[in-house]
């Protein structure tokens, strides 16, 4: 039976007002990966701090210093440390989210303006960058606080909040802050809940106990002093783009096999017991095809497809900076190109191991080309993989809450994406961390036309409140 608590009823009845707040947040283009948008990330941090304060949360905005991005020295966005309630008789739950987003331009292929939340009334879907990743879930926590206040219902737990503005760009500075605060602001946290991922499909809710890590690389190749005419210089000079394609062709096969020696050897072996966990997950290969928008899965077997995303590393090539990419037929030899790729990491791979393996391998492969161009490999950011035990009361509370709200037992999943700070929370605080997603597998996070279903925003907010209520029922 769905939640009948007063706070849940209030959320249902006030949903349009809550959607307006989501629209306000989506309208701030807080893109962390582009220096020109940095003032907007700060504006978003300010908006969130003011909104939290208005709901009675005590908020400290912690500056993290500077970073060098696109050749500019700019301020990192602040981390917001929030506190709501400090009753020593109650448990204290730390919630985490990020208020930055991935880049989005209408010209990328969006059907609507990415930074203006627009509702498709027929499907009940809200389109806008950050709607699902991760502004909707952050606002879910705010909805819970407001609903308790407005219904004069006591909050079942004390809440601590860590909201950052750099998650989509490597979470610079956050690890040091969390470690430092683990003995201070975060010292009395009993468990951690993160809502920053998605159901696997579109109908079954899930709880997530693992994340892949990430090692993000940039390969820079340059030679000529300026872009050259390919008719004048083609056939006479070493071309940076040709070298880049030659090197990139050595990274991964079209069927997804990573060619960097040593990576596969470090992956923890699969046990029969673990394999069985993938067999029972409520999803089909057709569901993944539908979320991907094409029949493009590497395997037709469900467990293999799931393991490809959850428990094996993957290597993706993202783009080339400096390449000709417009319409038309410009006959240019780019003077300098920077290719980007990343590897998703699983236990027992670390970013440091992978950096060493990739750097040595690519330098060797470039040397084989005999090119006179200059070549540089850098790891731009790295984050560790994380896997947790699901036997903790934190997971029992999440399970019970999901059963109440969705009348279904959740699937237990590992997420293919990365949230770099998760392992730091687990290690520095020594507490259980659980991921409780709000959105669906077809939300299109990081893609064009990112969306959040109205029902996921509303029932997902109620889920977060139910979870907090259940937490209060479990003895340590």
Ligand X SMILES: C[C@H](N)C(=O)N[C@@H](Cc1c[nH]cn1)C(=O)O
The residue from 49, 104, 166, 214 that contacts ligand X (CB under 6 A) is: 214
How distant is the alpha carbon of residue 260 from its chain centre? 25
Dihedral over alpha carbons 410, 413, 418, 422 (to 10 degrees): 70
Question: Which of the stretches 58-66, 162-170, 246-254, 459-467 binds ligand X when contact is defined by CB under 6 A?
Answer: 162-170
Q: Which is nearer to ligand X, 157 or 162 (CB)?
A: 162
Q: Which two tokens stand for residue 464?
A: 């977060």
Residue 442's binding partner, choosing from ligand X, Zn ion, none, with beta-carbon cut-off 5 to 8 A by kind?
A: none
Q: What's the rounded Cα separation, in Å, for the pair 267 and 210?
A: 15
Residue 288's binding partner, choosing from Zn ion, ligand X, none, with beta-carbon cut-off 5 to 8 A by kind?
A: none
Query: Shortest distance, CB of residue 332 to Zn ion, whole angstroms?
Result: 33
Look at residues 468, 401, 394, 469 and name the one whose alpha carbon lies nearest to residue 426. 394
Q: Does the protein bind ligand X through residue 417 (CB under 6 A)?
A: yes
CA dihedral sign of residues 275, 276, 280, 284: positive
Q: What's the rounded Cα separation, in Å, for the pair 52 and 80?
A: 10
Residue 418's binding partner, choosing from ligand X, Zn ion, none, with beta-carbon cut-off 5 to 8 A by kind?
A: ligand X
The answer to whether residues 436 and 398 touch, using CB atoms and an 8 Å cutoff, is yes
Q: Does the protein bind ligand X through residue 456 (CB under 6 A)?
A: no
Q: Does the protein bind ligand X through residue 443 (CB under 6 A)?
A: no
Question: Which of the stretches 106-114, 295-303, 330-338, 417-425 binds ligand X when contact is defined by CB under 6 A?
Answer: 417-425
Q: Does the protein bind ligand X through residue 170 (CB under 6 A)?
A: yes
Size of the site for ligand X (CB under 6 A): 14
Count of all residues that appear for the chain in the document: 476
Query: Shortest distance, CB of residue 435 to ligand X, whole angstroms?
Result: 9
Catalytic member of 40, 134, 167, 172: 167
Q: Does the protein bind ligand X through residue 133 (CB under 6 A)?
A: yes
Q: Which two tokens stand for residue 246?
A: 């030659």
Contact residues for Zn ion, defined by CB under 5 A: 133-134, 196
Q: Which is nearer to ligand X, 212 or 400 (CB)?
A: 212
Cis, bond preceding 134 (omega within 30 deg of 0): yes
Within 356-385, the residues that bind ligand X by CB under 6 A are: 381
Q: What's the rounded Cα separation, in Å, for the pair 210 and 312?
A: 12
391: exposed, middle or buried (Cβ count in 10 Å: 0-12, 13-18, 19+): exposed
Site string for ligand X, 264-303 (x = CB under 6 A): ----------------------------------------
Q: DSSP labels for 18-51? A: HHHHHHHHHTS--BTT-GGGHHHHHHHHHHHHHH
Q: What's the rounded Cα separation, in Å, for the pair 311 and 267?
A: 9
Is 196 annotated as a binding-site member?
yes
Q: Does the protein bind ligand X through residue 470 (CB under 6 A)?
A: no
Q: Which two tokens stand for residue 110?
A: 């969006």
Q: What angle do CA 93, 94, 96 make, to 5 degrees?
A: 140
Is 98 annotated as a binding-site member?
yes
Look at residues 432, 438, 429, 430 and name the one whose alpha carbon lies nearest to residue 464. 438
Q: What's the rounded Cα separation, in Å, for the pair 280 and 288?
A: 16
Q: What's the rounded Cα separation, in Å, for the pair 77 and 12?
A: 33
- Pairing label, strands 314-321, 336-345: antiparallel
The answer to whether residues 375 and 221 touch, using CB atoms and an 8 Å cutoff, is yes
Is 229 annotated as a binding-site member?
yes
Residue 337's binding partner, choosing from ligand X, Zn ion, none, with beta-carbon cut-off 5 to 8 A by kind?
A: none
Is 418 annotated as a binding-site member?
yes
Residue 41's binding partner, choosing from ligand X, Zn ion, none, with beta-carbon cut-off 5 to 8 A by kind?
A: none
Respond yes or no: is residue 167 known to be catalytic.
yes
Q: Does the protein bind ligand X through residue 100 (CB under 6 A)?
A: no
Q: Does the protein bind ligand X through residue 103 (CB under 6 A)?
A: no
Residue 170's binding partner, choosing from ligand X, Zn ion, none, with beta-carbon cut-off 5 to 8 A by kind?
A: ligand X
Q: Which is nearer to Zn ion, 104 or 401 (CB)?
A: 104
Q: Name residues whose C-beta falls within 8 Å of residue 367's C-beta, 6 or more positions apart in sequence.
A: none
Question: Which of the stretches 36-44, 183-191, 271-279, 415-423 binds ligand X when contact is defined by CB under 6 A?
Answer: 415-423
Q: Name residues whose C-beta falls within 8 Å of residue 39's C-beta, 6 or more positions apart in sequence.
A: none
Is 331 annotated as a binding-site member?
yes
Catalytic member of 40, 100, 175, 443: 100
Is 146 annotated as a binding-site member?
no
Respond yes or no: is residue 120 known to be catalytic.
no
Q: Which is nearer to ligand X, 214 or 306 (CB)?
A: 214
Is 318 annotated as a binding-site member?
no
Q: Which is nearer to ligand X, 143 or 169 (CB)?
A: 169
Is 148 annotated as a binding-site member?
no
Residue 228's binding partner, choosing from ligand X, Zn ion, none, with beta-carbon cut-off 5 to 8 A by kind?
A: none
Task: Please enumerate, by residue number, every residue annotated as part of a binding site for substrate.
Answer: 196, 229, 331, 344, 418, 446
Catalytic residue IDs:
100, 167
């Amino acid at each position: 039976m769905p939640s009948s608590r007063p706070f849940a009823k209030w959320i249902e009845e006030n949903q349009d007002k809550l959607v307006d707040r989501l629209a306000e947040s989506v309208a701030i283009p807080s893109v962390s990966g582009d220096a020109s948008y940095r003032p907007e990330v700060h504006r978003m941090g300010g908006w969130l701090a003011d909104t939290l304060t208005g709901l009675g949360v005590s908020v400290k905005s912690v500056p993290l210093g500077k970073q060098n991005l696109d050749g500019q020295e700019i301020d990192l966005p602040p981390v917001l440390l929030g506190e709501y309630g400090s009753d020593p008789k109650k448990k204290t739950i730390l919630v985490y989210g990020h208020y930055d987003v991935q880049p989005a331009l209408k010209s990328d292929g969006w059907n609507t303006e990415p930074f203006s939340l627009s509702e498709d009334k027929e499907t009940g879907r809200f389109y806008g960058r950050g709607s699902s990743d991760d502004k909707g879930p952050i606002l879910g926590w705010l909805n819970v606080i407001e609903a308790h206040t407005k219904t004069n219902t006591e909050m079942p737990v004390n809440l601590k909040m860590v909201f950052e503005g750099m998650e989509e760009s490597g979470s610079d500075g956050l690890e040091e802050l969390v470690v430092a605060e683990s003995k201070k602001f975060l010292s009395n946290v009993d468990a951690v809940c993160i809502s920053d991922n998605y159901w696997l499909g579109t109908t079954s809710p899930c709880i997530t106990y693992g994340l892949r890590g990430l090692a993000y690389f940039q390969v820079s190749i340059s030679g000529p002093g300026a872009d050259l005419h390919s008719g004048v210089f083609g056939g006479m000079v070493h071309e940076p783009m040709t070298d880049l394609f030659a090197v990139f062709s050595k990274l991964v096969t079209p069927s997804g096999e990573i060619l960097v020696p040593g990576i596969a050897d470090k992956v923890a072996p699969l046990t029969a017991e673990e394999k069985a966990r993938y067999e029972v997950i409520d999803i089909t290969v057709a569901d993944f095809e539908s979320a991907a928008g094409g029949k493009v899965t590497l395997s037709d077997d469900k467990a293999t497809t799931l393991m490809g995303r959850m428990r094996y590393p993957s290597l993706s090539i993202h783009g080339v900076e400096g390449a000709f990419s417009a319409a038309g037929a410009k006959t240019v030899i780019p003077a300098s190109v920077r290719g980007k790729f990343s590897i998703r990491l699983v236990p027992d791979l670390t970013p440091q191991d992978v950096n060493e393996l990739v750097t040595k391998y690519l330098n060797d492969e470039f040397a084989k080309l005999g090119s006179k161009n200059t070549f540089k490999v850098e790891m731009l950011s790295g984050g560790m993989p994380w896997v947790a035990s699901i036997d903790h009361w934190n997971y029992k509370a999440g399970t019970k809450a999901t059963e109440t709200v969705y009348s279904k037992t959740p699937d237990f999943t590992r997420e293919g994406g990365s949230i770099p700070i998760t392992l730091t929370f687990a290690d520095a605080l020594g507490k259980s961390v659980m991921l409780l997603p709000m959105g669906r597998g077809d939300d299109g996070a990081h893609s064009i036309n990112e969306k959040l279903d109205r029902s996921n925003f509303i029932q997902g907010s109620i889920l977060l409140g139910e979870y907090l209520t259940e937490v209060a029922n479990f003895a340590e």
